[in-house]
Amino acid sequence: MEHHRPAHDVIIAGCGPTGAVLAAELRLHGVRVLVLEKETEPVSAARIVSLHIRTLELMAMRGLLDRLIEHGRRRPVGGSFAAIAEPAPEDLGSAYAYQLGIPQPVVVGLLEEHAAGLGARVQRGRAVAGLEQDAEGVTVETADGERLRCRYLVGCDGARSTVRKLLGVGFPGEPSRTETLMGEMAADAPQEEIAAKAAEVNETDRAFSFRPIGEGVYRVVVSAAEVGGGRAEPPGADEFARRLRAVAGTDFGVHSVRWSSRFGDATRLADRYRAGRVLLAGDAAHIHPPTGGQGLNLGVQDAFNLGWKLAAQVRGRAPGDLLDTYGAERRPVAADVLDNTRAQGVLMSTDPGPRAVRRLVTELMGFDAVNRHLLEKITATGVRYDFGVGPDPVGRRMPDVDLEHGSLYDLMRGGRGLLLDRTGRLAADGWADRVDHVVDPAVALVEALDAPGVLLRPDGHVAWVGGDQGDLEGHLARWFGEPADRPRPDLRRSR
């Protein structure tokens, strides 16, 4: 391919939730972003997805949560793990301790609007067909034959990622052994009859679901007849009716399908998340069954981890290994999600052995520590990145806390680092173009972390706690690069 001077800092393949969040995060730092989306129109299927606690926190951190809540419905987080009906512990350590059920098109639309509002360019009907990288950048060839030059390319183009395939990155794991139909549709049968029959079927088929979602519409989950044929075609009312009669003995009079899809239980994880100047995020890097509703959340959290790091790399502010920490941190998180969905799949089997294990796990979830641990896996609030140094909570996410004049997350909307200083004796002057310094002796902060100072990364994870200025400066350099050559204005704000 012919090389051209980069016209874009970053090209993103795919404008789903992961790609849209990544584009917005990059634009917060002035990075020139082009998003190529192969679909000509935004997704229209009104599929309901669940946003979990950590995703809600990140959305609050960027000022997006209130807009999402307007279109969603809050749900309790209890019962998320393998559909074991155990209420959640009383205190989950978050101001956003609920699930938000919301139509996927609304999520995608709001996130794309947010990215575009920050200056990201989104071009629809354009698919990546080829790529070639060199020491200076990446040449992307689109399906219509145009060659585009960028400094970095990120594949957010889903489970069948073209970018991943062009890179030759392995995607090992297990292929689908079962296939499931999912959709939302109307049903003529009385709701009481539907509820009784669904409860009866669940005795032998825990994956089956026929749940009302309002206005005479039901969300239906039923096993497919076989794995394979026709996977590209969404199932229609006739196929749902056939499978419902086979599984439940009745089709409930289903009709008027609003949206539908079929999915398998394939479980795969990319060998690596980065190959030179090309990176992978979201379903392009990992796929797993939808048990626990973790997929969209995992991809969005990838984007929040990658965005500020890639922006620092583009702007020449990144320490040497900063971009490599993306894969080092996020790939183990994905591996853990894959494992917990495997485990949930076993627990939902109706074979005698798994049923015995399910009874045991249900009993163990009666212990608060076990219940909390499993919910933290589903909601991603238990993630702790391995920074190699530092005591707990270094590596963990910082919950939102009240400060003297507002909340912590309100201070993080610009996607910058944040030094919280209880004493007023710390400084980050050389990094003032990348890190805000807030002096606040607020009681809530004292209770959250008993330390004189806390350094937060732009994704809200704790990079350092302590009170020694020299130690602080070492960690500032580790995450935010070398200090500026010339003194910067003091951005400290007394709260």
**Is residue 35 within 8 Å of 121, Cβ to Cβ?**
yes
pLDDT digits (tens, 9 = 90+) for 26-72: 999 999 999 999 998 877 666 778 999 999 999 999 999 999 999 99
The one-character DSSP state at 403 is E
CA quadruple 312, 314, 317, 320: dihedral sign: positive
φ and ψ at residue 275, rounded to 5 degrees:
-130, 95
Q: Span 195-209, mean pLDDT? A: 89
d(CA 283, CA 286): 5
- How many Cα atoms sit within 13 Å of 375 on the Cβ side? 28
CATH number of 8-172+268-379: 3.50.50.60
d(CA 305, CA 325): 9
Domain span(s) for CATH 3.50.50.60 in the chain: 8-172+268-379
CATH number of 402-494: 3.40.30.120
Domain span(s) for CATH 3.30.70.2450 in the chain: 179-264
Reduced 3-state DSSP string for 295-333: HHHHHHHHHHHHHHHHHHHHCCCCCCCCCHHHHHHHHHH
DSSP letters, 339-363, are: HHHHHHHHHT--SHHHHHHHHHHHH
pLDDT given at position 225: 80
d(CA 437, CA 461): 16
pLDDT digits (tens, 9 = 90+) for 269-319: 999 999 999 999 999 999 998 888 899 999 999 999 999 999 999 999 999
Instruction: Return the higher-pLDDT residue of 480 and 3.
Output: 480
Residue 460 tokens, joined: 């809200």
pLDDT given at position 5: 58
The DSSP H or E segment spanning 402 is strand 402-403
Amino acid found at 300: V
pLDDT given at position 1: 46
**Is residue 183 within 8 Å of 258, Cβ to Cβ?**
yes
Q: How many CB atoms lie within 10 A of CB 146?
A: 10
The burial of 87, by beta-carbon neighbours within 10 Å (0-12 exposed, 13-18 middle, 19 or more buried), is given as exposed
Query: Among residues 383, 285, 270, which one has the least CA distance to residue 336?
Result: 383
Tokens 């606690």 correspond to 53
% of residues, the chain, pLDDT over 90: 76
Amino acid found at 490: D
The one-character DSSP state at 459 is T
Reduced 3-state DSSP string for 220-263: EEEECCCCCCCCCCCCCHHHHHHHHHHHHCCCCCEEEEEEEEEE
**Is residue 49 within 8 Å of 25, Cβ to Cβ?**
no
Q: How many CB atoms lie within 10 A of CB 179?
A: 18
φ and ψ at residue 202, rounded to 5 degrees:
-60, -20
Tell me the pTM: 0.91
Residue 22 has pLDDT above 90, yes or no: yes
Q: Which residues contact 294 (CB under 8 A, 6 or more apart)?
A: 52, 288, 337, 340, 341, 378, 380
**Is residue 107 within 8 Å of 58, Cβ to Cβ?**
no
pLDDT digits (tens, 9 = 90+) for 367-389: 999 999 999 999 999 999 999 87
Query: Among residues 368, 451, 408, 333, which one has the least CA distance to residue 92?
Result: 368
Amino acid found at 78: G
Biggest alpha carbon distance in the chain? Answer: 76
Class of domain 179-264: alpha beta
pLDDT digits (tens, 9 = 90+) for 327-337: 999 999 999 99
Query: Among residues 154, 152, 70, which one has the least CA distance to residue 109?
Result: 70
Q: 3-class SS at 397? A: strand
Residue 487 has pLDDT above 70, yes or no: no
Q: Which residues contact 134 (CB under 8 A, 6 or more apart)?
A: 3
Where does the pLDDT of residue 6 fall: very low under 50, low under 70, confident under 90, or very high at 90 and above? confident
**Is residue 17 within 8 Å of 299, Cβ to Cβ?**
yes
Residue 488 has pLDDT above 80, yes or no: no
Q: Span 89-108, mean pLDDT? A: 93
Domain span(s) for CATH 3.40.30.120 in the chain: 402-494
d(CA 174, CA 136): 37
Query: Among residues 369, 485, 374, 489, which one has the least CA distance to residue 429?
Result: 489
Amino acid found at 477: A
Reduced 3-state DSSP string for 62-98: CCCHHHHHCCCEEECCCCCCCCCCCCCCCCCCCCCCC
pLDDT digits (tens, 9 = 90+) for 210-255: 989 888 899 899 988 877 644 567 899 999 999 999 999 999 999 9
d(CA 286, CA 173): 10
Tokens 């400084």 correspond to 427
Reduced 3-state DSSP string for 265-293: CCEEECCCCEECCEEECHHHCEECCCCCC
